[in-house]
A and B are shown apart, each in its own frame.
Chain A
Amino acid sequence: MIKTDKLVFEYEKQDDDGNVIGVSRAIDEVDLDIKPGQFVAILGHNGSGKSTLAKHMNAILVPTEGTMWVDGKDTRREENLWDVRQSAGMVFQNPDNQIIGCVVEEDVGFGPENLGVPTEEIWRRVEESLRAVGMIEYREHSPNKLSGGQKQRVAIAGVMAMRPKCIVLDEPTAMLDPVGRKEVLRSVEELRKREHITVILITHYMEEVVDADKVIVMDHGHVVMQGTPREVFSRVDELKKYRLDVPQVTLLADELRKSGVDIPKGILKKEELVNLLCQ
């Protein structure tokens, strides 16, 4: 679904007078291979390059070197641009700055309108998408009165209405409170189960990735860790080095293990730890 080959993205660094003084590599030779239907999480601190990588997936940015293929299409080729964007939908960080419509259902219809979908079909898709994210009762509401979590769910519905093959969520919960975060993650989980769509979640919250099929950790533009959540979570000291927020349960399990208690590495959920300790 998403494949890259030695992807490099560079941008020019400017000094105070606007003179180019050098080049900075936001992404440094990244190889990715994400299969259809997978749930892949990309973790990293701010500045690790994860958002830059995400923006390559729907051709907002194109590689300086190397190639990015989305659903088999090279993103650098102009004729592929709109196909790429329809295949890989993106939900952004700021809930307000991606909602166009004055009314929820109109915003969800914006994508299909752009694709030239016939009117009746647009209504069908809008209804389905809003139901899928649990926002159908709000269809005639103004987005202004919605909470952050609700707005993000509307944004997700807006992307789903375009029937993409893959949905990329670029830090969708960074500006939300805990309730909003739970809502959004639950919607994503249900979507995955129902539509079998490829989901790529960019985040810096490690608790959000425990159910992923694959976790990729980035730092300074490189992929520094890859594997299942359990594999990645077991490398606690490395994670701390990359300034990630290891969940308390994983840290606790690790401390106990280091003190001699017989616990395997990579504990993800508190139920696991409690069960292990109480045997």
Chain B
Amino acid sequence: MIRDITIGQYYPANSKIHSLDPRVKIVGTLLYLISLFTFKSIIGYALATAFLFGCVKLSKVPFKFMVRGLKPIFLLLIITVGFNLFLTPGGAILIRVGPLKVTEQGLNTAVYMALRLIYLIMGSSLMTLTTTPNSLTDGLEKILHPLNKIKMPVHEIAMMMSIALRFIPILLEETDKIMKAQIARGADLESGNLIQKAKAMVPILVPLFVSSFRRANDLAMAMEARCYRGGEGRTKMKPLIYQKRDYIAYVVVLCYVMVVFVAGRYIPFKIWIF
């Protein structure tokens, strides 16, 4: 199941979306997610669907991949839909199942809630599937750069994030090695209640912490040896520079947001209860 979490994974491909500046994708995704909460009509959802699916098509990421990312939240979806379906009063009663009743309002809210959740996940996933983690940190660093004026260490935070990303696979490997070594000494990581399982993690976590500190020390020394002294005076090997396609993308996103806001709120169009 861990492999099905698509938020955070990168799907390499050569698409228009992949080649966009990460800042465009970050801002665009954020605007899209916010826009999901600005309308209540079917027109809004139709437009949101069209936009999202259009982007997915452009990204060349297989649709199956995106759908797989919804598996982990399936339970959440069911609960959300269930609650809204059966517990929202308002409008005519459509179905009655014993003490539970489904109202018009209930169905309306449930469906829209579900759609919002699904599109939230798919939208965020699309961003991370088409942008490498390092591009994302570069993009965030550039976007948040003005915060330097209020003394927020933007560069340092971005550097920490990229180092963390670089070492995640190494730490995972190390955890595996330590686990094997302790299992070879008879450690039992599977049986027992929650407390016992937590205690069983100590022989894994302590060595992991110790080795992480050692790594951090070595890494700091190596960085200093290569003349790292913070963000001052640093140039970039891969600077983020907007291209024409990025400006076009910004315009498209802004248009979408405005249209969906106006159309979703002010155009009175209803199909049945939606």
| Residues on A facing B (Cβ under 8 Å) | 58, 60, 82, 85-86, 89-90, 92, 94, 96-103, 105-106, 109-119, 122-123, 126, 143-144, 158-159, 162
Contacts and interface: CB of A to CB of B under 8 A. Distances in A.
A102 B134 contact: yes
Contacts of B98: none
Contacts, number: 86
10 contacts: A82-B227, A90-B225, A92-B225, A94-B218, A100-B219, A102-B132, A102-B166, A143-B166, A144-B169, A159-B226
Interface in B134-169: 134, 162-163, 165-166, 169
A161 to B, nearest CB: 9
B96 interface: no
Residue from the set A106, A114, A158 with the largest chain B CB neighbour count within 10 Å: A114
Given A82-B229, A111-B227, A98 B222 contact: yes
Contact of A110 (B170, B226, B229): B226
Contacts of B223: 100, 110
Contact of A118 (B163, B222, B227, B235): B235
Nearest to B135: A102
Interface string B232-267: 011111110000000000000000000000000000
A180 B223 CA distance: 23
Interface in B201-245: 215, 218-219, 221-229, 233-239
B21 to A, nearest CB: 16
Residue from the set B223, B227, B229, B234 with the largest chain A CB neighbour count within 10 Å: B227
B8 interface: no
A24 to B, nearest CB: 20
Contact of B170 (A92, A96, A159): A96
A273 to B, nearest CB: 40
Contacts of B219: 97-98, 100
A187 to B, nearest CB: 18
A102 B225 contact: no
Contact of B236 (A82, A89, A119): A119
A162 B229 CA distance: 15
A159 to B, nearest CB: 7
B55 to A, nearest CB: 25
Nearest to A93: B218
A160 to B, nearest CB: 11
Contacts of B224: 60, 85
A215 B46 CA distance: 76
A116 B218 contact: no
Contact of B239 (A89, A115, A119): A119
Contact of B166 (A92, A101, A114): A101
Residue from the set B134, B228, B233 with the largest chain A CB neighbour count within 10 Å: B228
Contacts of A60: 221, 224-225
Nearest to A96: B170
Given A113-B236, A114-B226, A119-B237, 17 more contacts: A85-B225, A86-B227, A92-B225, A99-B166, A100-B163, A100-B166, A100-B222, A111-B227, A112-B235, A114-B227, A114-B229, A114-B234, A115-B227, A119-B235, A119-B239, A158-B226, A162-B227
A139 B105 CA distance: 57
Nearest to B167: A96
Contacts of A94: 218
Contacts of A103: 134
A114 B238 CA distance: 13
B215 A97 contact: yes
Contacts of A126: 237
B103 to A, nearest CB: 52
Contact of B218 (A98, A109, A111): A98
A119 B236 CA distance: 6
B273 to A, nearest CB: 50
B237 A123 contact: yes
Contacts of A102: 132-134, 162, 165-166
